[in-house]
Structure 1
Amino acid sequence: MEEDTSEEEKGLWMLSVGGSSCVSGSGAGLVLTSPDGWTLEYALRFRFKPTKNEAEWEALIAGLTIAKHLGVQKIEASSDSQLVVGLVSGEYEAREDSMAEYLAHFQSLKSAFQMLRVLKVPRAENA
C-alpha cells in the first residue's frame, strides 16, 4: 500500500549537511537522499582554515550545487548550525562579510529549485 504523500512532498530530496573546523583539520560531510531512498555521501576536506560556520556553509552550498546538477527540483536541507539556518530564514542578519557572501551564494542557488527548505536539527540527529 502506498503512503499518502502530499503533492508538495512528491519528488522531495533530503540533504543533511555538517561542517567541522579544528586544529588538526577542517572538513564537511553531506548526505543527499533521493525520493526513492538511494543516497549519495560526500566528504569534503578544505585546503583553507574555515571557521565552524564557514564549514557549515561550504557543506550546504556543495550539497545544493550537486543537487542542482542532478536536476533536483524539490529539496529539504537539514543543518545543526543555528547561524546558517537563521541567516537563510531571515531570522538573523549577516554581520560579517564572509557570512553575507555565503548568504548571497545561497540566494543565487535558491532559484534553481522549485522548492527549497532549510531546517535546523539538533546535532545528535544530523546524520
Structure 2
Amino acid sequence: MDGSSCVSGSGAGLVLTSPDGWTLEYALRFGFKATNNEVEWEAIITRMIIARHLEVQKIKASSDSQLVVGLVSGEYEAREDSMAKYLVHVQNLKSDFQVFKVLKVSRAENS
C-alpha cells in the first residue's frame, strides 16, 4: 500500500496479493484533507476491511511510513491524538485476523 497527500487532494493505492498469486488492485481518492501519515492509516484500514470481507485470516502488509509501522508494531507510542485514534481503530480490526503484520519497506520497494 502507498499513500500520498498534496494540495489537490489525497489518495492511496492498494495491491492485495494472495499466496496463490492472484491480485486485486485499488485506487482510493479521499474527499478530505489528510497528511501523508493519515493517508497511510486510511490505506491500512481499507486493506483490512477488504480482507475481512474476503474472509482472509492472515495479512502481511507493507508500508514506507516508519511512524505507522512503528505504532502498529508497538515500537513507538502515539503522541498525537489523531495517530492514537487510528492506532486504536487498527488494533480493533486486528482481532478479525489470525495473523496481522505490517512491515517497513523503503519507498522504492513500495511503489
TM-score, normalisation: structure 2: 0.97
Match of 2:17 in 1: 33
The alignment-based identity, stated in percent, is 78
- Find the counterpart in structure 2 of residue 8 from structure 1: none
Give the corresponding residue for 1:42.
26
Residue 47 of structure 2 corresponds to which residue in structure 1?
63
Q: Once the two structures are superposed, what CA deviation does each residue of 1:72-102 show, in whole Å capped at 9, x if it has no partner?
A: 0111000000000000011111111110010
4+ runs deviating over 2 angstroms? none
Name the SS for the 1:104 alignment partner. Answer: helix
Q: Tell me what 1:6 maps to.
A: none
Structure 1 unaligned blocks of 5 or more: 1-16
Aligned equivalent of 1:79, options 34, 52, 63? 63
Larger Rg: 1 or 2? 1
Aligned residue pair count:
111
What is the Cα deviation at residue 25 of structure 1? Answer: 1.8
CA distance in 2, matches of 1:18, 1:125: 10
Matched residue type, 2:76: Y
Structure 2: 5+ residue stretches without partners: none
TM-score, normalised via structure 1 length = 0.85
